Amino acid sequence: MDYFLTEEQQMIKEIAARIAQEKIKPVALKYDEEGIFPRDIVKILADSDLCGVYIEEEYGGFGGGIFEMALVVEELSKACGGIALAFAGTGLGTYPIILFGTDQQKQKYLPDIAAGTKLAAFGLTEANAGSDAAGIQTTAVLDGDEYVLNGTKQWITNGGEADVYTVIACTDRSKGARGFSAFIVEKGTPGFSFGKKENKMGIRASVTSELVFEDCRIPKENLLYREGMGFIVAMKTLDRTRPGVASQALGIAQGALDEALKYSQEREQFGKTISSFQAVQHMLADMAIQIEAARALVYQTCRYIDGGAKSFSKESAMSKVFASDTAMKVTIDAVQVMGGYGYMKEYPVEKMMRDAKITQIYEGTNQIQRNVIALEMIKELKGK
Amino acid sequence: MNVIVCVKQVPGTNEVKMNKETNTIIREGVEAIINPFDTYAIEEGARIKEETSGKATVLSMGIPSVAELLKETISVGMDEAVLLSDRAFAGSDSLATSYALSMGIKKIGDYDLIICGKQAMDGDTAQVGPGLAEKLGIPHTTYVRKIEEIREGYIRCQRMTEDGYEVIEMPLPAVITVVKEINEPRLPSLKGKMKAKKTEVTVWTADDIGADKALCGLSGSPTQVVKTFVPEHNVDSEMIEGTPEEQARNLARKLLSMQFAIQVQEEE
């Protein structure tokens, strides 16, 4: 399918595809098994000018939007969904600054992120605050010219590897959802350390850590937007970056189909390649149909967002749900097509199946996404 | 420091078709790529240019469509691209190619170093680099695996040999041909691709570079290809299975039965 990408988008896709196939694919299995953070790949992405595709030109980026970011994530994820996350997780951590940062904050942080010399991370989740973000325990108290942070963030992508963290903390418990605020915290700030590094089912080349704040003092200027707007910052950021997760899922699914299709033409049983059997053909066809449908939805959602839409929670949630459910189903079928070989670690689909699972869970579980979609529909109907 | 990198387009497949009359490769209609060895020359040229803030020009001789390939080299560090394209160049052997390229290089002018890949993947002659140096009357070193030092008028490099390397010093300007050990070519960057899109490839004819047509193309090529063929391998082979001991025993038996060996001790 031709999605009529612009010439620039086509270039971005081509560069990302070459990096994925030539640089990521050969190391994906090793980095997954040993849990190696892909510093070398980040350097290649930086040298290829891809780190800033979604950052404004005046801050050293390419000036693209979520679509440009999604195209990179999709291509990288075809080779490894975990390695792609060093890039995508940085996008998640950077978007709060892009969307709500002052010119001064943008000048300070965006150029290094665009150049790929700094990575970013987003800290929202805590032990008792996942889908219910109102349960956040981390606090930020203004003391003179500084905010003092205390608390622990959990399961933070790029935690420990990133240099810039956007963190949501409670500034006024009495105000409920209006009592949270967003802050920028730099690695190396006294009182800011990293806790347990998680041992995960998939995306093992991505690091997931705790962020620990113990009387961590940050300058007042590091408040993002306004006090009390932390929840808005988080929700608006996630609405915009969900197609990023969707494109990660899309890439994983496409990577799995590519492997299964190739294998089906090599593997012979009963004197024929297994691709000549209708049972296998139908599975491959179903995988392809679902992936193409997911891609059409993800791309269109990206275009809708980048086109200046005001409200897109529903569309963004739909793209994430559909693409991630597709990735799970397609990777399971890819393992099935490849049979015993598919189950073995020497073949990449075993890893892809593990990697796919997280896309149904993080940046809002697919159940929460369905709540969002339904509530938006009900709201729309009432508004008529 | 100004660098000129010479590259050749080669067929991107193993199924090369030959023109039966001239016994030369048919390049039309075949997906062309830049000779893989030349990509190391491009990378080395780009690095020298970046470190010494000079200019890097890529040069090739070929059919008009080669211009598209030369454009791609802009995305990996080249600044300008020049293509020598003229019917008069058709059928050039390595001598006529060296001559045409040398005339192109004279017209580009103001260069410190010329870099070529060690050889082309299709012809495998490895003659154009040295030939070029002779035509230009400057020194050359082949099979360079590392540049130890380069500065105004001076280069010291390592020339790879079968069992080690030689360290060679030359005055500049000079020609080097490089082996793949010298570097790891970069992937194209987004800014590079944007620049490549805007770059116009300069195309020069034989007249533009003041070339003597008698020295160009088929008429300037003393090499006549009489026949090209893939050598046939009619050797039967058989894999001997089993444990190392069984394999050794079976091999010995076969050699004995074929009278390639004599038995000096009874089998146990």
CATH number, domain containing residue A351: 1.20.140.10
Q: Does residue A236 sit in the same domain as residue A162?
A: no
Report pLDDT for B12.
Answer: 78
**What confidence tens digit (pLDDT) does each residue in A6-33 have?**
999 999 999 999 999 999 999 999 999 9
Question: If pLDDT is split at 50, 70 and 90, which confidence band does B16 have?
Answer: low
Residue that the structure tokens 């496409």 belong to: A254
Question: Does the residue B44 lie in any domain?
Answer: yes
Question: If pLDDT is split at 50, 70 and 90, which confidence band does B258 have?
Answer: confident
Report pLDDT for B21.
Answer: 76
Options A161, A363, A376, A380, the catalytic residue: A363
Total domains in chain B come to 2
Q: Does residue B105 sit in the same domain as residue B67?
A: yes
Question: Does the residue B97 lie in any domain?
Answer: yes
Smallest CA-to-CA distance from A352 within A284, A230, A260 is with: A260
Q: What is the rounded CA–CA span in Å between residue B178 and residue B157?
A: 10
Question: Does the residue A173 lie in any domain?
Answer: yes
Question: A203 vs A247, A272, A356, A362, CA distance in Å?
Answer: 15, 36, 8, 12
CB contact under 8 A, A15 and B197: no
Question: If pLDDT is split at 50, 70 and 90, which confidence band does B27 have?
Answer: low
Question: Does the residue A1 lie in any domain?
Answer: no
Confidence check: pLDDT of A117 > 80: yes
Q: Does residue B136 sit in the same domain as residue B263?
A: no
Looking at residues B106-117, what average pLDDT do you find? 95
Q: Does residue A243 sit in the same domain as residue A362?
A: yes
Using the 3D structure, point to which of A75, A90, A119 is the last residue of a domain: A119
Q: Does residue B70 sit in the same domain as residue B198?
A: yes
Question: Does the residue B175 lie in any domain?
Answer: yes
Range of the domain at A50: 7-119
ipTM score assigned to the predicted complex: 0.87
Question: Does the residue B92 lie in any domain?
Answer: yes
CB contact under 8 A, B186 and A47: yes
Q: What is the DSSP string of A299-351?
A: HHHHHHHHTT-S--HHHHHHHHHHHHHHHHHHHHHHHHHHHHHHHSTTSTHHH
Q: Does residue A242 sit in the same domain as residue A379?
A: yes
Confidence check: pLDDT of A73 > 80: yes
Q: Does residue B159 sit in the same domain as residue B262?
A: no
Q: What residues 42-101 of chain A have any CB closer than 8 A to a CB of chain B? A: 44, 47-50, 53, 62
Q: Does residue A273 sit in the same domain as residue A353?
A: yes
Q: Are B168 and B159 in contact (CB under 8 A)?
A: yes
Range of the domain at B110: 3-220
Question: Does the residue A368 lie in any domain?
Answer: yes
Report pLDDT for A336.
Answer: 98
* Chain B contact present for A145, CB below 8 A: no
CB contact under 8 A, B194 and A12: no
Question: Does the residue B256 lie in any domain?
Answer: yes
What CATH number does the domain containing A110 carry?
1.10.540.10
Looking at residues B74-103, what average pLDDT do you find? 93
Report pLDDT for A123.
Answer: 96
CB contact under 8 A, B194 and A50: no
Using the 3D structure, point to which of A230, A264, A283 is the last residue of a domain: A230
Query: For the ranges A4-18, A344-358, B65-79, B211-225, which has the lowest average pLDDT?
Result: B211-225
Question: Does the residue B79 lie in any domain?
Answer: yes
Q: Does residue B183 sit in the same domain as residue B104?
A: yes
Q: Does residue B15 sit in the same domain as residue B132?
A: yes
Out of A11, A23, A53, whose CB is closest to B193? A11
Report pLDDT for B14.
Answer: 60
Q: Does residue A11 sit in the same domain as residue A142?
A: no
Q: Does residue B119 sit in the same domain as residue B212?
A: yes
Minimum distance, in Å, between the CA of residue B102 and any CA atom of chain A? 34
Average pLDDT of the residues of chain B: 89
Q: Does residue A203 sit in the same domain as residue A220?
A: yes
Question: A145 vs A142, A178, A218, A228, CA distance in Å?
Answer: 7, 22, 9, 18
Q: Are A42 and A86 in contact (CB under 8 A)?
A: yes
Question: Does the residue B230 lie in any domain?
Answer: no
What percent of chain B is predicted at pLDDT more than 70? 96
Q: Does residue A226 sit in the same domain as residue A236?
A: no
Mutate to test the interface with A, among B191, B193, B197 (most CBs of A within 10 A): B193
CB contact under 8 A, A15 and B190: yes
Cis peptide before B64 (omega within 30 of 0): no
Confidence check: pLDDT of A39 > 70: yes
CB contact under 8 A, B190 and A44: no
Is A380 in the active site? Answer: no
Question: Does the residue A79 lie in any domain?
Answer: yes
Report pLDDT for A301.
Answer: 98
3-state secondary structure of B242: coil
Q: Does residue A237 sit in the same domain as residue A372?
A: yes
Looking at residues B229-244, what average pLDDT do you find? 81
Confidence check: pLDDT of A241 > 70: yes
Burial class (CB in 10 A: 0-12, 13-18, 19+), A213: buried
Contacts of residue B188 in chain A, CB cutoff 8 Å? 14-15, 18, 48
Q: Does residue B64 sit in the same domain as residue B135?
A: yes
Q: Does residue A131 sit in the same domain as residue A248?
A: no
- Eight-state DSSP code of residue A19: I
Question: If pLDDT is split at 50, 70 and 90, which confidence band does A326 have?
Answer: very high
Q: Does residue A346 sit in the same domain as residue A248?
A: yes
Structure tokens at A30: 């090793």
Question: Does the residue B188 lie in any domain?
Answer: yes
**What confidence tens digit (pLDDT) does each residue in A357-380 have?**
999 999 999 999 999 999 999 999
Q: Does residue B131 sit in the same domain as residue B74?
A: yes
Q: Does residue A295 sit in the same domain as residue A207?
A: no
What CATH number does the domain containing B25 carry?
3.40.50.620
Q: Does residue B211 sit in the same domain as residue B252?
A: no
CB contact under 8 A, A44 and B187: yes
Looking at residues A232-258, what average pLDDT do you find? 97
Q: Does residue B23 sit in the same domain as residue B125?
A: yes
Minimum distance, in Å, between the CA of residue A29 and any CA atom of chain B? 22
Q: What is the rounded CA–CA span in Å between residue A166 and residue A247?
A: 22
Q: Does residue B268 sit in the same domain as residue B140?
A: no
Total domains in chain A come to 3
Amino acid at A195: G
Question: If pLDDT is split at 50, 70 and 90, which confidence band does A177 have?
Answer: confident
pTM of the model: 0.86
Question: Measured at the alpha carbon of residue A69, what is the angle toward residues A65 and A74, in degrees to the nearest 5?
Answer: 145
Question: If pLDDT is split at 50, 70 and 90, which confidence band does B11 have?
Answer: confident
Contacts of residue A14 in chain B, CB cutoff 8 Å? 188, 193
Using the 3D structure, point to which of A86, A104, A119 is the last residue of a domain: A119
Q: Does residue A203 sit in the same domain as residue A236?
A: no
Confidence check: pLDDT of B232 > 90: no
